[in-house]
Amino acid sequence: MKTIKIRRELLEYLLQLARSAYPNEFAGFLREKDGVFEEVLIAPRQYPGRNSVFFDHWMLPLDESIKGTVHSHPSPAFWPSEADLRFFSKFGGVHLIIAWPFTEEDVRAYTSSGEEVFIEVVD
């Protein structure tokens, strides 16, 4: 199974973003540096809902350090939906889903095709 690395500080921040957005979803883009996800870029002009989040992808910067996405599910379902898989295919990389109740155990990572990826949290 493929492994990704994410800074603990970023993971904790993403969990807080998910809690703050609840009962709606939030979305962001993950920046990677030296093989570790270290920052999130919040999706611009978000229109969050309970089942999806829309944003203006034309406002995203051209940024080669963006290697993944993150979004929350305001339910305990952490597997990707058909809509998630369509979204994943457009942005490539690794995709995190944070499910309710938004603890570290409720985070999963997937490839663009929906295969689960192991998450290694680093300090």
Between 87 and 80, residue with greater pLDDT? 80
User: For residue 47, what are the CA distances in angstroms to 28, 29, 44, 82?
Assistant: 12, 16, 9, 19
> For the whole model, what pTM was predicted?
0.87
Question: Stretch 77-98: mean pLDDT, rounded?
Answer: 88
Residue 47 pLDDT > 50, yes or no? no
Reported as a single tens digit per residue, the pLDDT across 18-36 is: 999 999 888 888 999 999 9
Dmax over CA atoms of the chain, in Å, equals 35
Q: What is the pLDDT of residue 25?
A: 86
69 by Cβ neighbours in 10 Å (0-12 / 13-18 / 19+) ranks as: buried
Output the 3-class SS for the chain.
Answer: CCEEEEEHHHHHHHHHHHHHHCCCCCEEEEEEECCEEEEEEECCCCEECCCCEECCHHHCCCCCCEEEEEEEECCCCCCCCHHHHHHHHHHCCEEEEEECCCCHHHEEEEECCCCEEEEEEEC
Residue 44 pLDDT > 80, yes or no? no
The rounded percent of the chain whose pLDDT value lies above 90 is 60
Between 37 and 43, residue with greater pLDDT? 37
Give the model's confidence band at 84: pLDDT under 50 very low, under 70 low, under 90 confident, else very high: confident
Between 97 and 51, residue with greater pLDDT? 97
